[in-house]
Amino acid sequence: MIHDKMQQAVNEQINAELYSSYLYLSMTSFFYSINLPGFANWMRVQTQEELVHAMKFYDYLVSRGGRVILKPVEGVPTSWESPLAAFEDAYKHELKVTGLINKLVDLAI
């Protein structure tokens, strides 16, 4: 059985991955709206990838006898000043989520 503290942290990571997916889906919509379907498609692929990440943590928690608790996913921005601004936001967000993963590793150790 997984420790309560670890279970809570993995649940928070699931929420962060779902937020990432939601954010990139919003960016997908933004790119469609400014007639950049290639960018939209690329961001749509990232949306799916983040869902896969969330499900990996989800399945891990279940496999360890833990309980997945889904919390509300925070609202995401809906538009950006430019395509570059959107990608800069995505980059910043990736750095943040990587930091969360590193904290999760530290906790696990």
Q: Which residues contact Fe ion (rule: CB under 5 A)?
A: 17, 50, 53
Residue closer to Fe ion by CB (options 26, 50) is 50
Residue closer to Fe ion by CB (options 6, 104) is 104
Question: 11 Cβ partners below 8 Å, 6+ apart?
Answer: 61, 68, 69, 70, 71
In the complex, least distance from residue 1 CB atom to Fe ion, rounded to whole angstroms: 26
In the complex, least distance from residue 18 CB atom to Fe ion, rounded to whole angstroms: 10
Residue closer to Fe ion by CB (options 33, 102) is 102
In the complex, least distance from residue 6 CB atom to Fe ion, rounded to whole angstroms: 18
Let me know: does 28 contact 47? Beta carbons within 8 Å: yes
Let me know: does 44 contact 28? Beta carbons within 8 Å: yes
- Residue closest to Fe ion when measured from CB atoms: 53
In the complex, least distance from residue 13 CB atom to Fe ion, rounded to whole angstroms: 9
Run of H or E including 83: helix 83-108
The 3-state DSSP class for residue 27 equals helix
